[in-house]
Amino acid sequence: MALRKRLFYDAKQPLLPCKTYAFGMQNDRFCNVLIVRRLCDSLSSEKYLQHFDVLSVYQEHKYSKTI
């Protein structure tokens, strides 16, 4: 993601030298939304993995008592 962002900034700066500060802020906001979306997706998958770990530990504990 960082590489993509860097390439985007390097390509746009020489092509659009007359753009204002607001254009740069809009670009940063777009990149921030992409980063936040990616983080939220990874956090939701981690949440499900944590539930799976708890269940597997419970099952191991339950089966170890019966043996």
In the 3-class helix/strand/coil scheme, how is the chain assigned residue by residue? CHHHHHHHHHHHHHHCCCCCHHHHHHHHHHHHHHHHHHHHHHHHHHHHHHHHHHHHHHHHHHHHHHC
The share of the chain scoring above pLDDT 70, in percent, equals 19
Find the mean pLDDT for residues 4-17: 53
Q: How far is it, in rounded angstroms, from Cα 34 to Cα 51? A: 27
Find the mean pLDDT for residues 3-24: 54
Q: How many CB atoms lie within 10 A of CB 51?
A: 10
Per-residue confidence at 28, pLDDT binned at 50, 70, 90? Answer: confident
Q: How far is it, in rounded angstroms, from Cα 41 to Cα 37? A: 6
pTM: 0.28
Highest mean predicted confidence (pLDDT) among 15-19, 34-38, 55-59 = 34-38
Q: Taking 60 as the threshold, does the pLDDT of residue 23 lie above it? A: no
Q: Taking 70 as the threshold, does the pLDDT of residue 26 lie above it? A: no
